Amino acid sequence: MKQDVNRFEILEKITPLIENTAMRYNLIPIEIDFSKENHKWFLRIFLYSYEKDITLDDCENVTRSLNDYLDELIPVKYYLEVSSPGLERKFKSDKEFLIFKGRRISLKLKQALDGESEKIFKGEILDWNENEGLKFLRFEDGEELLIPKSNIQSAKLYID
């Protein structure tokens, strides 16, 4: 018997539970993904902490706390993966610009800025505004740039 699964409905149901559980451990879920790959469902949760690196214990604590509750909310067999986002993972949402404020990133633009030829910059996130875009300190010349959200192709944390 094939079961229809609305992944968006499931994500809507489980997201508050995941956020509250992570918060109990002083963690932030920066990405929650529920998708099907090779006929199998996967729930992937990527955790972040302002104070420390994510450890295996952090992932285990969140997994154990969620297991029984998720089984009640997800009507299909699934595989749960809880991990840190990794050092060079591309940003998946705008909220990551706020979460990673003050951190170094590599930024790729859709179009070069006026008077520039380059579309890839390394620098620091100074601020993020949903309407105005990214306030960014470019390392190569120390210039502060305001980059419209519509011109950002991708961003990821930058490690020296």
Q: Is 127 left (phi over 0), alpha (psi -120 to 50) or beta?
A: beta
C-alpha to C-alpha distance for 147 and 65, rounded to whole angstroms: 40
- Predicted confidence at residue 75, as pLDDT, reads 92
**7-83 matches 95-157 in fold:** no
Instruction: For residue 78, give every residue at least 6 positions away whose Cβ sits within 8 Å of its Cβ, in sequence order, or none.
Output: 34, 40, 41, 42, 43, 70
H/E element, 26: none
- Predicted confidence at residue 2, as pLDDT, reads 53
- Ranges of residues in the chain with a pLDDT under 50 are 1
- Predicted confidence at residue 68, as pLDDT, reads 84
CATH of segment(s) 7-83: 3.30.300.70
- Predicted confidence at residue 1, as pLDDT, reads 43
- Predicted confidence at residue 53, as pLDDT, reads 87
Architecture of the domain delimited by 95-157: Roll (2.30)
**What residue segments make up the domains of the chain, in order of their start?**
7-83, 95-157
H/E element, 144: strand 144-147
- Predicted confidence at residue 3, as pLDDT, reads 62
Instruction: For residue 153, give every residue at least 6 positions away whose Cβ sits within 8 Å of its Cβ, in sequence order, or none.
Output: 108, 109, 110, 119
- Predicted confidence at residue 124, as pLDDT, reads 94
Q: What digits encode the pLDDT tens for the residues 118-154?
A: 899 999 999 999 898 999 999 988 889 999 999 999 9
